[in-house]
Amino acid sequence: MVIGTCVIELRIPGNRSLKGKRRVLKSVMARVRNRFNVSIAEVGNYDLWQSATLGVACISNASDYVHGLLTKVVEWIETNRPDVEVVDYRIEMF
């Protein structure tokens, strides 16, 4: 069994409130959850208006599948969400 985690650092340019940040993140997390069947949550930078940290996790029996799936999540966010900027990400496997 392979557990994969991905920490994604995001920038939300033009955002002016925590309420706006929550709206954007809620949408991103719901779409990623539905499209890729992964667990996703905000895991850092809670009080910063234009910065967010998301944690994504999945489990499988193949490490290649896990790494590919987490990479696709990051690529999907970069491609389909012009309102968010992926600053950095890191994938770990256990």
Domains and CATH numbers, the chain: 2-93 (3.30.70.1120)
Max distance between CA atoms of the chain, in angstroms, equals: 42
Do the beta carbons of residue 66 and residue 60 sit within 8 Å?
A: yes
Please write the tens of the pLDDT for every residue from 13-37: 989 999 999 999 999 999 999 999 9
* Beta-bridge partner residues of 31: none
Average pLDDT of the residues in 40-59: 95
Two tokens, residue 39: 């667990």
Please write the tens of the pLDDT for every residue from 50-92: 999 999 999 999 999 999 999 999 999 999 999 999 999 999 9
